[in-house]
Amino acid sequence: MTESVYKDSASEGANRSSLWQPNRSASKLSQKAIVILFGAFAMVSVFTTFGIIFTLLFETIEFFREVSPIEFFTATRWTALFANPEFGVMVLMCGTFLTSVIGLLIAIPLGLLSAICLSEYAPRSLRKILKPALELLAGVPTVVFGYFALLLVTPFLRSFIPDMSIFNALSAGIVLGFAILPTIASLSEDAIFAVPSSLRQGSYALGSTKRETITGVVLPAALSGIVASIILGVARAVGETMIVTLAAGQSPTLTLDPRVSVQTMTSFIVQVTKGDAPYGTIEFKTLFAVGMTLFVITLILNIFSFWFVRKYQEKYE
């Protein structure tokens, strides 16, 4: 009797194992398929990046066969679309630098103060409302910011500064600062909020005030995240197109006066892509040379951001 029971149980176990084997192999096969599928999706972005790099690189090499790199990086005049062209990208870089600095002078203080307020002072219920409202600002199209700067901010500033040009770097930089404000504020707030509460409690236990705790404990602990958000804001400001195109104008002037019209690297790219330069000419190839310069600048900023975060990131267990 017992022998037959053992046989029955053994046969039942064998049947179960035979049923389980195909399911197990099918599960492994599906997991491999998912890994391959997700890997293919990830490689699309990698191949796209390399495609952009190679496109810019080949056309940039063709440009530098006709224009000396020394002239390109040291000349102080930019008249690429004129009858007697001169290619001094320093003029465009100066305009980009001017509008970006003005924007960062607006965005960094307001962004950090907003992040500190949301993380350290605002109640959780209010934070749930204010943070999404702040991030909604990032969803406003930049062309709307551009027209806002041109039609509202510039006339307002000209009431105080009568000799200001209609197209100027000041209004473009101010509105640019509000455009990159959500990037700095949101990422900085995430970094500050991630600081363990035990650090705050330890500071309070030693007799520190809330202000002293924030400035002496919380902000240093979140420094890597804050710096990363600022660098991303810088890259966003350098690569901004429509705001500076509409509000700053397209006058390639080597100046640091924010009252006059300037041209940035991105606004020149817009000017060329509108059809002002025939395809295949040296004027058209400047599009890729300027684009490659802009790409290298943003790449350096991102590399510095990754290095700074890895070097100074605080890890808590």
Say if residue 38 is in the same domain as residue 128: no
Which one of 166-180, 238-252, 270-284 scores highest in mean pLDDT?
A: 166-180
In a domain, 246, yes or no: yes
- Three-class DSSP category at 81: coil
Say if residue 289 is in the same domain as residue 306: yes
Contact call for residues 267 and 96 (beta carbons, < 8 A): no
In a domain, 115, yes or no: yes
**Of 65, 80, 100, the domain-final residue:** 65
| Domain range enclosing 232 | 71-312
Number of H helices, E strands in the chain: 14, 0
In a domain, 270, yes or no: yes
Q: Which of 245, 281, 295, 201 is nearest to 99 (CA)?
A: 245
pTM here is 0.81
Say if residue 124 is in the same domain as residue 107: yes
Say if residue 165 is in the same domain as residue 293: yes
Q: Which of 122, 108, 316, 116 is nearest to 214 (CA)?
A: 116
Contact call for residues 77 and 88 (beta carbons, < 8 A): yes
Q: Residue 11: what pLDDT?
A: 52
In a domain, 287, yes or no: yes
Say if residue 151 is in the same domain as residue 188: yes
Residue 180 has pLDDT above 60, yes or no: yes
**Of 50, 65, 80, the domain-final residue:** 65
Confidence of residue 6 (pLDDT cuts 50, 70, 90): very low
Opening angle at CA 107, ends 103 and 111, nearest 5: 175
CATH code (residue 194): 1.10.3720.10
Q: Residue 74: what pLDDT?
A: 85
Residues 297, 215: Cα–Cα separation, whole Å: 32
Alpha helical stretches, state H, 159-259: 169-193, 197-205, 210-213, 219-221, 223-238, 242-247
How many domains would you assign to the chain? 2
Say if residue 160 is in the same domain as residue 54: no
> What is the Cα Rg of the chain in Å?
28
- The mean pLDDT value for 212-233 works out to 87
Residue 102 has pLDDT above 90, yes or no: yes
Q: Which of 269, 252, 259, 237 is nearest to 99 (CA)?
A: 237
- The mean pLDDT value for 5-10 works out to 47
The sign of the dihedral angle between the CA atoms of 76, 79, 80, 84 is negative
**Of 42, 65, 88, the domain-final residue:** 65
Say if residue 58 is in the same domain as residue 195: no
Q: How many CA atoms lie within 13 A of 280 on its CB side?
A: 0
Say if residue 38 is in the same domain as residue 80: no
Residues 112, 118: Cα–Cα separation, whole Å: 10
Q: Which of 84, 89, 95 is nearest to 69 (CA)?
A: 89
Which one of 89-103, 118-132, 206-220 scores highest in mean pLDDT?
A: 89-103
In a domain, 179, yes or no: yes
Residues 30, 82: Cα–Cα separation, whole Å: 61
- Burial level of 150, CB count in 10 A (0-12/13-18/19+)? buried
Residue 208 has pLDDT above 70, yes or no: yes
In a domain, 185, yes or no: yes
- Give all strands (DSSP E) within 33-187, no chain letters: none
Say if residue 140 is in the same domain as residue 270: yes
Q: Residue 24: what pLDDT?
A: 66
In a domain, 189, yes or no: yes
Q: Residue 47: what pLDDT?
A: 87
In a domain, 317, yes or no: no
Residue 317 has pLDDT above 70, yes or no: no
Say if residue 54 is in the same domain as residue 163: no
Say if residue 49 is in the same domain as residue 190: no
Say if residue 50 is in the same domain as residue 84: no
